[in-house]
Amino acid sequence: MRIRSIWPALALCVAAVFVTQAAFGTEPTLIDQVRQRFSLSKISILSGDVVNYINHDDVQHNIHIFGSDGSDIDRGLQNPGQTIVQKFDKIGEYTVRCSIHQKMKMKVEVRA
């Protein structure tokens, strides 16, 4: 019995994932909220990208986004286990904070 290598099939699967992402856009950026902190302090994304803020704490959070253009987006209360999905369409710099826990903050750079 002859055993064939799985490498060609694996390479084909990986290539298919990259082609699919190119056709339908990038995967969302995942930001965890654990121990009343964001998992990253700064990210750089492209205009139109999506960020998922996932509350892994056992307390509520409040996603509040301040743009360098003066924009102010309050996403409201976020319960434990809940995910808030935010699309960033405008190029610029944003500060994301939790209105409940003032030490929770991160920067989002949105570029073309």
Q: How far from 50 is each of 5, 6, 23, CA to CA, in Å?
A: 38, 34, 16
Q: What is the pLDDT of residue 1?
A: 52
Q: pLDDT digit of tens for each residue in the chain (112 aa)?
A: 555 554 444 344 444 434 334 444 679 999 999 999 999 999 999 999 999 999 999 999 999 999 999 999 999 999 999 999 999 999 999 999 999 999 999 999 999 9
Three-state secondary-structure class, residue 11: helix
Whether the Cβ atoms of residue 107 and residue 67 lie closer than 8 Å to each other: no
Q: Six-digit token pair at 95?
A: 């500060």
Three-state secondary-structure class, residue 27: coil
Q: What is the pLDDT of residue 25?
A: 62
- Annotated domain spans of the chain: 27-111
Which pTM was predicted?
0.75
Q: What is the pLDDT of residue 28?
A: 95
Q: Is CATH 1.20.1250.20 the classification given to domain 27-111?
A: no
